Amino acid sequence: MNAPANVAADAGLQTPIRHQLFIDGQFVDAESGETLATLNPHDNSTIVNVAMAGKADVDKAVAAAQRAFPAWSRMPAMERGRILLRLADLIDRNAEELARLESLDTGHPIRDSRLIDVPRTAATFRYFGGMADKFQGDQIPVDAGFLNYTMNEPLGVVGQVVPWNFPLMFTSWKMAPALAAGNCVVMKPAELTPLSSLKIAELMAEAGIPDGVVNIVPGLGAVAGQYIAEHPGIAKIAFTGSTATGRRIVQASAGNLKKVQLELGGKGANIVFEDANLLAAVNGAAFASFHNQGQACIAGSRLVLHEKIADAFLEKFVALARSIRIGNPLDPNTEMGPLTTLMHRDRVLDFVDVACGEGGHVLTGGKPGAGDLARGCYVEPTVVRVASWKDRVAQEEVFGPFVSVLTFSNDDEALQIANSTEYGLGGGLWTNNLQRAHWFAREMKSGMVWINCYKRVNPASPFGGTGMSGYGREMGFEAMREYTQVKSVWVNVDAQIAPHYPR
Ligand code: NAD
């Protein structure tokens, strides 16, 4: 069933909403005929029923990708790159449509979808389009008489499982390097937010990506996702989502020893020192904590303040949090939209009770949306002063507009707090002391460190974590390495060297 015409029209969409699986270049229903409703988190109304892939559909997608692989992987890299560059241009041309669809399905404020999600998606395809013919092997100085060189070969069919917090952007983070390197893809978007990746599938066909190179199979994680992780025809699985699911994927992948790449949770420490530019730090911390309703693995969800500036900082920060305009994501004035589901909203609100039970103080927020917003998945920007870094709200990922405030009195204590969780994804610090900044950059247990900024990302810069935040890196040359395997080739270039044991 297509989306009711008024849903698309009310959201200002110009084209029909895609709601079928994308396999072998065609939009098709699931073999079982089953569908799953995707909801608008603003009011929990159904946007559209989306085909729900089962094992038979994943098998079809893998078979299509296997058929497409020889031609795609042998296509001149420059030509593959040119197709990705065309796709980036098509994303630019369809920017408003993509932004509206993303906001409708995820709750991202439209201004963020326009300014962040869509441009970054285009930029990622453009960067890896340009990278396709620049990622090259080495010639290695080995023994006299021998030439040794390496080739970077694509892996084959790769499985990709994407979460619901940045579905459009993460589709590009996962697909662009995989495709540039010559792999074919079977991708499962989150069952909660499949719409923007299906729109990308439409644009991919228009850009000239051959049938079968990309297959998109919305469906349940425990069914389609799990089967992708197990599938013997898939050479690698790349996953973004929770640490618990990451563990399951590692176990499921063992059958054929798949290569696994995991981008999991985080509990970023955002440290503000006594010498920081306070206004810049307050603004940076608001973006770090509340952008995308705090649903970001790199969110600065622990605000770690020097005790000398804590009160002055919090006065400004709380005032800013209270001034954030919450509302319908499609309203251009909205600064914070709803969370993705009611269940997730309630989970975030439960953490307010946990914080209070642990002796924390709610400085602002901690409540669901009121009035017209009560039907949706809204949570007010929430700032909680936490009693100890050992508390659950200082250790566990809340994944909402919820920031835990801790204080410290010296650099060693700040570092100890920063490194006290099992995660290690992103962290930041605000200081004008150069020596301290670089010392922390070295000592922080974190895949990414931001100094006097927070949550900067770019397609050229490696992205990923350590510890329970996972392993492997997205973006940059690192991503190309993740999607290739190295072959070492030896050539005897000296006729005098006998190819057997010396006698
Ligand atoms: P999740 O890990 O369950 O879901 C993410 C993706 O994994 C979805 O596409 C889902 O369908 C799929 N999935 C679920 N079970 C699977 C399985 N057994 N095999 C393969 N794929 C499977 O995350 P969630 O439950 O939707 O969110 C819970 C928590 O996950 C959040 O509160 C947050 O802590 C974390 N999370 C992190 C990120 C991130 O960017 N790192 C993104 C989303 C969620």
Q: Which of 411, 418, 326 is nearest to 364 (CA)?
A: 326
Residue 378 φ then ψ, to 5°: -90, 145
Pocket probe mutation, ligand 1, options 242, 291, 346, max atoms within 8 Å of Cβ? 242
Ranges for all domains in the chain classified under CATH 3.40.605.10: 5-11+19-264+469-487
Residue 500 in this model has a pLDDT that exceeds 90: no
User: With 90 as the cut, is the pLDDT of residue 302 above it?
Assistant: yes
222 lines ligand 1 (CB under 6 A): yes
Whether 107 lines ligand 1, by a CB cut-off of 6 Å, is no
Can you give the three-state secondary structure of 213-249, one letter per residue?
A: CEEECCCCHHHHHHHHHHCCCCCEEEEECCHHHHHHH
Residue 6: count other Cβ atoms within 10 Å of its Cβ. Answer: 8
Number of H helices and number of E strands within the chain? 17, 20
Q: Domain 5-11+19-264+469-487 class?
A: alpha beta
Please name the amino acid found at residue 148.
N
Please provide residue 363's backbone torsions phi and psi, each rounded to the nearest 5 degrees: -85, -30
Instruction: Using a pLDDT cut of 70, give the percent of the chain over it.
Output: 98
196 vs 2, residue with greater confidence: 196
234 lines ligand 1 (CB under 6 A): no
Q: Write the residue with the smallest CA distance to atom 14 of ligand 1.
A: 221
Q: What pLDDT was estimated at residue 404?
A: 98
Ligand 1 pocket check for 241: Cβ under 6 Å? yes
Q: What is the DSSP string of 373-435?
A: GGGTT-B--EEEE-S-TTSHHHHS---SSEEEEEEESSHHHHHHHHT-SS--SEEEEE-S-HH
- Tokens representing 57 are 């559909």
Residue 297 among the catalytic residues = yes
User: Who contacts 394 (Cβ-Cβ below 8 Å, separation ≥6)?
Assistant: 267, 302, 386, 388, 404, 406, 420, 421
Question: What is the rounded CA–CA span in Å between residue 161 and residue 189?
Answer: 6
Distance CA 96, CA 12 (A): 9
**Domain boundaries 269-451, CATH class:** alpha beta
Give dist(CA 344, CA 400) in Å, integer.
Answer: 8
* Ligand 1 neighbourhood includes 297 CB (under 6 angstroms): yes
Is residue 443's pLDDT more than 60?
Answer: yes
CB count within 10 Å of CB 62 equals 23
Residue written as tokens 């004008």? 432
Mean pLDDT of the chain: 96
Q: Probe ligand 1: pick from 237, 245, 469, max atoms within 8 Å of CB?
A: 245
- Whether pLDDT at 437 is above 90: yes
CA 486 vs. chain centroid, Å, equals 26
Place of tokens 């893998």: 62
Cα 305 to Cα 313: distance, rounded to the nearest angstrom: 8
Name, in order, each residue with C-beta under 8 angstroms of 363's C-beta and a sequence gap of 6 or more: 314, 318, 383, 384, 385, 405
Atom of ligand 1 nearest to the CA of 244: 2
CA atoms lying within 13 Å on the CB side of residue 16 = 9
Render pLDDT for 375-417 as a digit per residue (tens, 0 to 9): 999 999 999 999 999 999 999 999 999 999 999 999 999 999 9
Cα(297)–Cα(215) distance, integer angstroms: 26
Query: 163: Cβ below 6 Å to ligand 1?
Result: yes
Per the annotation, the verdict on 356 as an active-site residue is no
Tokens 């303040």 correspond to 305
Q: How far is the CA of 164 from the centre of ligand 1 (A)?
A: 8
pLDDT per position as a tens digit, 252-284: 999 999 999 999 999 999 999 999 999 999 999
* pTM (2 d.p.): 0.96
Say what the pLDDT of residue 4 is: 63
DSSP state of 495: T
Domain with CATH 3.40.309.10 in the chain: 269-451
Q: Is 334 a residue whose pLDDT tops 70? A: yes
Could you give phi then psi for residue 90, rounded to 5 degrees? Answer: -65, -35
